[in-house]
Amino acid sequence: MPVKYQLIKRDKETRARVGMLETPHGRIETPVFMPVGTQATVKTITPEELKDLRAEIILSNTYHLYLRPGHDLVREAGGLHRFMNWDRPILTDSGGFQVFSLNGLRKISDEGVEFRSHIDGSSHFFSPEKVMEIEMALGSDIAMAFDECVPYPCTYEEGVKGVERTTAWARRCKAAHHHSKQALFGIVQGSTFRDLRERSAREITELGFPGYAVGGLSVGEPKPLMYEVLDYTVPLLPQDKPRYLMGVGSPDCLVEGVARGIDMFDCVLPTRIARNGTVFVPEGKLVIRNAEYARDFSPLDADCGCYACRNYSRAYIRHLIKANEVLGIRLTTIHNLHFLVSLMKRIRAAINENRFQEFRREFYARFKL
C-alpha cells in the first residue's frame, strides 16, 4: 500500500481525531490543511516558503496540468514533484469538480465528460480511465477518483444519478489505476440527501480504497447544512482510513470539520483572498487595503510567527498591495497559509491533550463569523 493511515488519538467528546498518514514522500500528521498549487505552484510562493510555514502536503489540479503544460510533459520531467521542486506529499484532484464547473462548455454522459478548454476552447474528453492515466503521469502520492459532483441545490433524481455515476466511475478508476507509489482515494457523493449519502458511502467503501473523500460539499449550501451532512456521513466511513473534506478552508469550517471526524482539507480560499488583500486574524478577516491601516506599523497579527508578521508592518503590506507590488500578495499568501497550517497544528495538540472542546470554545471566543 503506498499510503498507510494510523489512528493515534480520538477525542472523547467529539469525532475529532489525530492520525499519521504515511506516503511515498513522507509522513503527515492529521488533521491537515493542504495548500492548493493549481498549476504546479502554490500561487506566488516557493516550496521553501511552504516548508518554512510548515505545510506538509499540497494539492494540485489534474484539469489544469492536463491542459497546461500537459501530463506527458510532467511525466517527462520526472513527475510533478521533480517538475515543481516539491519533495513532500502531493494529492491530485480528479479534475471532476473543474470540468463540471465549466457550465455550457461541457457534456456529461455515462462514458465521461466532454469539455472545452478555458484557455483556448479546444475539445477534450475525461473518462475515468483518462483521468487515471493523467494522475499516474503526474505521479502524485494520492490520486482522487473521477466523480460526478452535482451542484447545490439539485433534485433528488440528479442526486441519484450523481451517486450512480460516481460509483460506476470509481469502479472503472480502480480497474484502470496501477501505480506502486500512488494511492487512489474514493469519493462519496449524494448532495444533501441523507439516504443518498448513505448509499454512496456504502457503495464506495464496498469497493475499498485506502482513503475516502466527502465530495459535493462547500458548493453553495449553508454551513449548518454542510455540518449536518458531515454528522451523518463521516460515521459511515471506516475508522482506519483517512477522511478528506474537499474544497473547505475557512477557519471555522476546519474546526467544525475536525469535530466531525475529518482528517484532510484543501481550499483556494486562503491564497485567493490573500491576493485580494484580505488576511486571516484570530478575530476573522482583515482587509489590509482599508485606509485605517495606512499608518498602522504593527504586524498583520501580533500573535503570528510567520515571515510576514515577523518582518513587515500592516502599513508596508498595505502600501505594496495598493501599489500592485507582487511582494504584497506574497506576504499575505504566506500569512494566510501559515494561519491555517498553524490552526491545524494547534487543533492536533488540543486533541492530543484531551482539550479539543476547550480549544473550540476559545477559538469562537475571538473568531467572528
- Residue 170 or 308 having the CB closest to a copy of itself: 308
- Nearest approach in angstroms of CB 59 to a copy of itself is 16
Query: Which span (71-79, 138-146, 278-286, 298-306) binds a copy of itself, by CB under 8 A?
Result: 71-79
Q: Show Cβ contacts of residue 353 under 8 Å, excluding neighbours closer than 6 positions.
A: none
Q: Is the peptide bond before 151 cis (omega within 30 degrees of 0)?
A: no
- Residue 245 or 288 having the CB closest to a copy of itself: 288
Closest CA relative to residue 341, chosen from 227, 273, 265: 265
- Residue 43 or 285 having the CB closest to a copy of itself: 43
Distance CA 208, CA 174 (A): 9
Q: Where are the beta strands (DSSP E) in 147-197?
A: 183-188
Marked catalytic residue, from 93, 141, 263, 301 = 93
Closest CA relative to residue 233, chosen from 254, 265, 266, 202: 202
Query: Which span (185-193, 202-210, 324-332, 349-357) binds a copy of itself, by CB under 8 A?
Result: 324-332
DSSP per position, 298-310? S-S-TT--SHHHH
Distance CA 293, CA 77 (A): 45
Q: Is 40 in the site for a copy of itself (CB under 8 A)?
A: yes
- Nearest approach in angstroms of CB 26 to a copy of itself is 19
Marked catalytic residue, from 141, 263, 266, 301 = 266
At 207, is the secondary structure helix, strand, or coil?
helix
DSSP 209: -
Which long-range contacts link 65-73 to residues 24+ away (Cβ below 8 Å)?
65/39, 65/40, 65/92, 65/134, 65/138, 66/95, 66/124, 66/134, 67/117, 67/118, 67/119, 67/124, 68/39, 68/119, 69/40, 71/133, 71/134, 71/137, 71/138, 72/137
| 266: annotated active-site residue | yes
DSSP 74: H
Q: What amino acid occupies position 328? A: G
Per the listing, cell 485580494 goes with: 276
Q: Is 322 in the site for a copy of itself (CB under 8 A)?
A: yes
- Residue 163 or 337 having the CB closest to a copy of itself: 337
Among 6, 239, 298, 311, binds a copy of itself (CB under 8 A): 311
- Residue 84 or 99 having the CB closest to a copy of itself: 84
Over the range 64-98, which residues count as b (16 or more CB within 10 Å of their CB) and which as e?
A: bbbbeeebeebbeeebbbebbebebbbbbbbbbbb
Site for a copy of itself, residues 284 to 303, rule: CB under 8 A:
294-295, 297
Per-residue x/- track, 93-112, a copy of itself (CB under 8 A): --------------------
Q: What Rg do the C-alpha atoms of the chain give, in angstroms?
A: 20
Among 76, 206, 292, 358, binds a copy of itself (CB under 8 A): 76
**Across the strands, what pairs with 9?**
18
- Residue 55 or 187 having the CB closest to a copy of itself: 55
| 93: annotated active-site residue | yes
- CB count in 10 Å sphere of residue 236: 17
- Residue 330 or 360 having the CB closest to a copy of itself: 330
**Across the strands, what pairs with 144?**
185
- Nearest approach in angstroms of CB 173 to a copy of itself is 27
Q: Is 117 in the site for a copy of itself (CB under 8 A)?
A: no
Query: Which span (229-237, 240-248, 298-306, 312-320) binds a copy of itself, by CB under 8 A?
Result: 312-320
Q: Is 46 in the site for a copy of itself (CB under 8 A)?
A: yes
Site for a copy of itself, residues 183 to 222, rule: CB under 8 A:
none
- Residue 225 or 326 having the CB closest to a copy of itself: 326
Q: Is 63 in the site for a copy of itself (CB under 8 A)?
A: no
Question: How many residues form the binding site for a copy of itself (CB under 8 A)?
Answer: 34
- Nearest approach in angstroms of CB 15 to a copy of itself is 38
Catalytic positions are 93, 266
Interface residues with a copy of itself (CB under 8 A) are 39-41, 43-46, 68-69, 73, 76-78, 83-85, 294-295, 297, 311-313, 315-316, 318-320, 322-323, 325-327, 329-330
